Amino acid sequence: MDRRRSGPRFHHKSAGVPGPASNNFCDPTMHIYLIRRALQLIPTILVMSVVVFSLTLMLPGDAAFTVLGETATEQQRERWREEMGLNQSVPVQYLRWFSKALTGDLGLSIRSREPVVDMLAVRIPTTVELAVLSMLLAVAIGIPAGIMAAKFRNTWVDFAVSFLSMFSMAIPFFWLGVLLIMIFSVNFRWLPPSGYVSLVENPIQNFRLMILPAMTIGMSFAGLVMRQTRTAMLQILGEDYVRTARAKGLSELVVTVKHALRNAMIPITTVLGLQVGALLGGAVVTETIFSIPGLGRMIVEGIFERDFPVVQGAIIVIVLFILTVNIIVDLTYPYLDKRVKL
């Protein structure tokens, strides 16, 4: 995706005059930018709330039949629908739900009658932990491999990295998760196959349980990071200032990391930010495979149980998280390149 169209508008100052003011959160320009981006989020959130609410109600099946079971009479189901407000028109249901959501009330679970906000408060840290571990793994594998592929272009190293990147991106999450369980849990018995323990309760066991899920998502995104890093580094390594740095006698490590990689981080960071949505989508499948009580599994369980408030609340939280990450990524550009000004 062309960042010039999807992201904020930047302009570059003179290369010899860095802009320290652009890196200051007390700068009025930064405040204006944040206010403008917050105002831009309002129509996005409105549209997404309509889409999420409508698609949720379009799920096949009858919530009354799922909750009350086969033994309930039609009169009992109709009375239950009236109590839940499901017999009202869709616009009325949406306005009632959205007005409560603005106050932080996402309703009650149809199945357990537990506040959805309380359920989200328990599930969000688990999914955030999985997302952070997966992203760290993708960066730790993808960036060094991409640098090596660019440094040794058109050699066996480049071909091997390109093959691994395409292979990792082509593997479905569910297939890779099952494969990792077969290898590390069934055959070698090194790691537990599923389950979850809180990081606060038992950090070591938590890490053992989260390795395989993080590998399932992180290895797929590592391939994307490899390709983006290789492309960005190939462009940067051919620049005049890189040749000048080598001519000054700087070590190859300093030239690669300080001069080349630092300037290549903007497109890499952009790709990482844009892939947050796909990462959370992978969490839906991965959390189900490994029995992790996160947002992804919460959505799957809510769909099967026709628990509309749970599904709506979880998806809205994911949408808000993605929008927030995109703003954070935009704010990192002036720190990665001082010539960039918001």
pLDDT above 90 coverage of the chain, percent? 8
Does residue 214 lie within any of the structural domains? yes
Write down the pLDDT at residue 276. 81
Answer whether residue 6 is part of any domain. no
SS (H, E, C) the chain: CCHHHHCCCCEECCCCCCCHHHHCCCCHHHHHHHHHHHHHHHHHHHHHHHHHHHHHHCCCCCHHHHHHCCCCCHHHHHHHHHHHCCCCCHHHHHHHHHHHHHCCCCCECCCCCCEHHHHHHHHHHHHHHHHHHHHHHHHHHHHHHHHHHHHCCCCHHHHHHHHHHHHHHHCCHHHHHHHHHHHHHHHCCCCCCCCCCCCCCCHHHHHHHHHHHHHHHHHHHHHHHHHHHHHHHHHHHCCHHHHHHHHCCCCHHHHHHHHHHHHHHHHHHHHHHHCHHHHHHHHHHHHHHCCCCCHHHHHHHHHHCCCHHHHHHHHHHHHHHHHHHHHHHHHHHHHHCCCEEC
At residue 342, the pLDDT reads 63
CATH of the domain at 170: 1.10.3720.10
pLDDT at 9: 44
206 part of a folded domain: yes
Which has more pLDDT, 113 or 163? 163
> What pLDDT score does 137 carry?
92
Predicted model pTM: 0.80
Q: Residue 130: is its pLDDT beyond 70? A: yes
State pLDDT tens for residues 81-95: 787 777 778 888 888
Asked if pLDDT for residue 118 goes beyond 80, the answer is: yes
Give pLDDT, residue 141: 92
Number of domain units in the chain: 1
pLDDT band at 14 (very low <50, low <70, confident <90, very high): very low
Asked if residue 1 has pLDDT above 50, the reply is: no
Is 48 among the domain residues?
Answer: no
Residue 23 pLDDT exceeds 60: no
Range of the domain at 272: 112-337
pLDDT at 22 over 60: no
- pLDDT category, 27, cuts 50, 70, 90? low
Residue 254 falls inside a structural domain: yes
Quick check: is 27 in a domain? Answer: no
The answer as to whether 32 is a domain residue is no
34 occurs within a structural domain: no
